[in-house]
């Protein structure tokens, strides 16, 4: 049977009465071993998942919160702190030394991947300070949707986190997600994350030849976004596939000439692999676009 104090506590945290809930915790009036629902959540997990930060902090401070408790889905309180971007709760949990930042859930998720995926950049950086992550496969871990922490950091525009992950040497930089066929390098080039793209290329493991579900490579995105030094770095790898044709009938050279990107066009032509004779879906070649924009030296190279 559930004690009256536990019923009061549940109503208090559900309806925002922090003072009553904290009073019950501080006076040892609740059942600290109680579990909730089919997920078999601990009290701490319930509080964190409901974003009841003040009450969760009081429970952690009591020393009876069981920060290492794992529910039936393989999730910890730290997992939910990352999900809801509760920085102070995450900090307090980690400070206990019992929060299991290296733990992997039943769905293949870690606190780090969740922090990256839900834009909790400060928490992700805090987690990357935990040495236990570096020898347990957490940084390179792939969840059930095919996302790594690095892919998630790029998707959430967490530039500093992405660079930090790459620097670990364990970020699985060439991994491809299951949803869009993106690599971290494709994300970086698609969304103009210059420093991330350069750092990824330097790993020599970024899979630059890969094309996503639109048939676009990192090189095509870099050309489209006028990332000239990234284009040059990609070409220098010898793996960027300059002749790739995307699902819209465009090559990197077509984009370069179509949008008047002189230096990029020069670099692509110099590869000898940019298939300048290719005709796009509008019936135009790179030469036709170069003439439209009066790119005289490009025209001379292509004629």
Note the pTM of the prediction, 2 decimals.
0.90
> Which residue's entry shows tokens 């002749």?
243
The answer to whether the beta carbons of residues 223 and 261 sit under 8 Å apart is yes
41-42 vs 35-36, strand pairing mode: antiparallel
In sequence order, what E strands does 15-122 have? Answer: 35-36, 41-42
Taking alpha carbons only, the member of 88, 84, 44, 90 closest to residue 63 is 44
pLDDT at 1 over 60: no
The confidence score (pLDDT) of residue 25 equals 96
- Domain edge (last residue) among 72, 91, 109: 72
At residue 43, the pLDDT reads 96
115 — pLDDT class (breaks 50, 70, 90)? very high
Residue 114 lies in a domain: no
Q: E-strand spans in the chain? A: 35-36, 41-42
Residue 207 CA to residue 225 CA, distance in Å, equals: 19
Looking at residue 91, its pLDDT comes to 98
Work out the pLDDT band at 96, boundaries 50, 70, 90: very high
Taking only the tens place, the pLDDT of each residue in 186-240 is 999 999 999 999 999 999 999 999 999 999 999 999 999 999 999 999 999 999 9
| Tokens read off for 227 | 């990332």
Determine what percent of the chain is predicted with pLDDT higher than 70: 99
CA atoms of 119 and 157, how far apart (whole Å): 8
Question: At which of 26, 48, 72 does a domain end?
Answer: 72
Whether the predicted pLDDT of 101 surpasses 60: yes
Domain boundary among 16, 47, 72: 72
pLDDT at 135: 86
Q: Is residue 236 domain-resident?
A: yes
- Contact between 111 and 101 under an 8 Å Cβ cutoff? The reply is yes
Asked if pLDDT for residue 2 goes beyond 80, the answer is no
Q: In whole angstroms, what is the distance from residue 282 CA to residue 279 CA?
A: 8
Q: Domain for residue 113, yes or no?
A: no
Average pLDDT, the chain: 95
Can you tell me the mean pLDDT for 155-166? Answer: 95
- Backbone CA torsion sign across 105, 108, 112, 117: negative
Give the per-residue pLDDT at 65. Answer: 95
> Is the residue at 38 inside a domain?
yes
Q: Does residue 216 sit within a domain?
A: yes
> Looking at the domain assignment, is residue 279 inside a domain?
yes
What is the number of domains present in the chain?
2
Q: For 28-51, how does the pLDDT look when each residue is reduced to its tens digit (9 = 90+)?
A: 999 999 999 889 999 999 999 999
What average pLDDT does the segment 112-141 reach? 95
Tell whether 54 is covered by a domain. Answer: yes
Q: Does residue 109 lie within any of the structural domains?
A: no
Q: Supply 135's token pair.
A: 């020898």
- Here the CATH number for the domain that contains residue 225 is 1.25.40.20
Q: Domain range spanning residue 300?
A: 181-303
């Amino acid at each position: 049977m559930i004690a009256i104090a536990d019923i009061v506590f549940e109503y208090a945290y559900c309806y925002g009465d922090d003072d009553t809930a904290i009073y019950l915790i501080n006076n040892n009036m609740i059942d600290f071993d109680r579990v909730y629902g089919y997920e078999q959540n601990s009290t701490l997990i319930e509080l964190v998942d409901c974003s009841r930060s003040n009450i969760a902090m009081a429970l952690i401070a009591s020393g009876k919160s069981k920060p290492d408790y794992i529910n039936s889905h393989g999730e910890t309180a730290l997992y939910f702190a990352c999900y809801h971007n509760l920085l102070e709760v995450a900090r307090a949990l980690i400070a206990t030394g019992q929060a299991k930042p290296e733990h992997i859930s039943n769905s293949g998720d870690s606190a780090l991947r969740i922090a990256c995926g839900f834009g909790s950049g400060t928490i992700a950086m805090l987690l990357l300070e935990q040495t236990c992550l570096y020898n347990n496969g957490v940084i390179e871990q792939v969840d059930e949707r095919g996302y790594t922490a690095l892919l998630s950091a790029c998707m959430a525009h967490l530039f500093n986190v992405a660079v930090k992950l790459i620097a670990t040497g364990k970020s699985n930089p060439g991994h491809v997600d299951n949803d869009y066929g993106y690599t971290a390098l494709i994300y970086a080039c698609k969304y103009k994350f210059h420093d991330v793209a350069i750092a990824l290329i330097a790993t020599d493991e970024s899979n630059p030849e890969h094309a996503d579900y639109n048939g676009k490579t990192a090189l095509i995105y870099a050309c489209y976004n006028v990332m000239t030094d990234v284009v040059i770095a990609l070409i220098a790898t010898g793996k960027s596939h300059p002749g790739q044709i995307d699902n819209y009938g465009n090559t990197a050279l077509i984009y370069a000439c179509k949008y008047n990107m002189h230096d990029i066009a020069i670099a692509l032509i110099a590869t000898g692999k940019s298939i300048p004779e290719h005709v796009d879906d509008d019936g135009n070649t790179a030469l036709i676009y170069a003439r439209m924009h009066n790119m005289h030296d490009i025209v001379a190279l292509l004629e």
